[in-house]
Amino acid sequence: MSDGTGSFQVGVIIPAAGQSTRFGSDKLGQDLGGRPLLLRTVELFTRRDEVRCIVVAAPPDALEEFRSRYGAQLGFHGVRIVAGGIADRWESVRNALAAIDESCTHIAVHDAARPAASDALLARVFDAARVAPAVIPGEPVSATLKRISEESFAAAPDEEVADAILGTEGREATRGHRVTETIDRTRVVAVQTPQVFEASLLRRAYAQDNLGGATDDSMLVERLGEPVLVVSGEARNIKVTTQADLALVRAVLGHRAPEERPAHKRF
Ligand code: CTP
Ligand code: MG
């Protein structure tokens, strides 16, 4: 590895086929400093020397719309677009995997919804992946974690008393769930992407029979019984899930919302 990249060729999979249900509208098309969020995410990787190819998994039910919206800019970077899966992220990754160049020694999977990962994080994960077959970023969990009951309960069992104190609206607002357990957070980490794997290992993980229930890619590697290394993640690597996350990402990247920018600088 004289040039530091010779035997480390990374194919990148960007799952971007989700429905943005919790966000409420297409989160990947949101403006981030004048460019759609999806392109910001893709461009994290176009800047890296180790990256040999990038495949984006797009919503299968809106593929043509996706191509007309992003095709030109993605094509400029040599990015391939494949149809993802409607229901499950793993289906999107599996479809993209088939389009990754065979010559890639490693494969990185990164959520389209994480546009604020730093280049330092990418460098850290890629460096570790040169020596470990499966590497994921993770952050210690600082919150106290509790498991709660599935059903919700009224705060006051006696509705007449509750109504007298809070009124009917207050009664609804004070419904809650019961704590069933406090979860020990010792050595618990919240994991992020990019997750980087030896190409053959990830292909083997995705060739398993039952991929259901996998919420990230490393879980499928764990199912093979293969070790997964966790390196430091970072707080700024936010997954845009709700509108509040988008505001945080804009703050991290120093972008103003489009309505706060002069009209000629919006797209
Ligand atoms: N994703 C995907 N294919 C799916 C589901 C999710 O490619 N069938 C992608 C999303 O586009 C996103 C990433 O996986 O980049 C993480 O998923 P998430 O944050 O849950 O996004 P959505 O599924 O779009 O959001 P929601 O769950 O609120 O609908
Ligand atoms: Mg989802």
Per-10-residue mean pLDDT for the chain, 267 residues long?
A: 67 98 98 97 97 98 97 96 96 98 98 98 98 98 96 81 78 84 96 98 97 94 98 98 98 92 66
Euclidean distance between CA atoms 90 and 202, whole angstroms: 12
Domain endpoint, select from 121, 154, 183: 183
Residue nearest to atom 10 of ligand 1 (CA): 18
Residues 160 and 110 in one domain: no
**Best of 19, 110, 237, 249 for a ligand 1 pocket test (most atoms within 8 Å of beta carbon):** 19
Q: What is the pTM of this model?
A: 0.93
Q: Which two tokens stand for residue 151?
A: 């059903």
Number of the ligand closest to the Cα of 84: 1
Residues 59 and 76 in one domain: yes
In a domain, residue 2? The reply is no
Q: Which two tokens stand for residue 185?
A: 């957070």
Residues 108 and 213 in one domain: yes
User: Given this model, what pLDDT does residue 2 score?
Assistant: 45
User: Given this model, what pLDDT does residue 171 score?
Assistant: 65
**Best of 89, 93, 246 for a ligand 1 pocket test (most atoms within 8 Å of beta carbon):** 89
Helix H segments across 77-134? Answer: 89-97, 119-129
Q: Is 256 exposed, middle or buried (0-12, 13-18, 19+ CB in 10 A)?
A: middle
In a domain, residue 206? The reply is yes
In a domain, residue 1? The reply is no
DSSP at 106? E
Residues 49 and 115 in one domain: yes
In a domain, residue 126? The reply is yes
Residues 70 and 173 in one domain: no
Q: Which domain covers residue 196, as residue numbers? A: 10-138+189-265
Angle at 191 between CA 213 and CA 142, to 5 degrees: 120
Number of the ligand closest to the Cα of 238: 1
User: Given this model, what pLDDT does residue 198 score?
Assistant: 98
Euclidean distance between CA atoms 11 and 100, whole angstroms: 6
Q: Among the atoms of ligand 1, which is closest to the Cα of residue 87?
A: 8
Q: Does the beta carbon of 84 lie inside 6 Å of ligand 1?
A: yes
Ligand 2 centroid distance, CA of 89 (Å): 7
Q: Does the beta carbon of 26 lie inside 6 Å of ligand 1?
A: no
Residues 49 and 84 in one domain: yes
**Which helix (H) or strand (E) covers residue 182, if one does?**
strand 176-183
Euclidean distance between CA atoms 18 and 162, whole angstroms: 41
Residues 133 and 259 in one domain: yes
User: Given this model, what pLDDT does residue 260 score?
Assistant: 85
Q: Does the beta carbon of 242 lie inside 6 Å of ligand 1?
A: no
In a domain, residue 5? The reply is no
In a domain, residue 256? The reply is yes
Q: Does the beta carbon of 93 lie inside 6 Å of ligand 1?
A: no
User: Given this model, what pLDDT does residue 264 score?
Assistant: 65
Residue nearest to atom 25 of ligand 1 (CA): 20
Euclidean distance between CA atoms 11 and 28, whole angstroms: 21
In a domain, residue 237? The reply is yes
Residues 197 and 225 in one domain: yes
User: The domain that contains 47 carries what CATH number?
Assistant: 3.90.550.10
The total of structural domains in the chain comes to 2
Residues 6 or more apart from 229 whose CB is under 8 A from it? Answer: 128, 132, 134, 135, 136
Distance (Å) of CA 17 to CA 60, 62, 201: 7, 9, 24
Euclidean distance between CA atoms 203 and 175, whole angstroms: 46
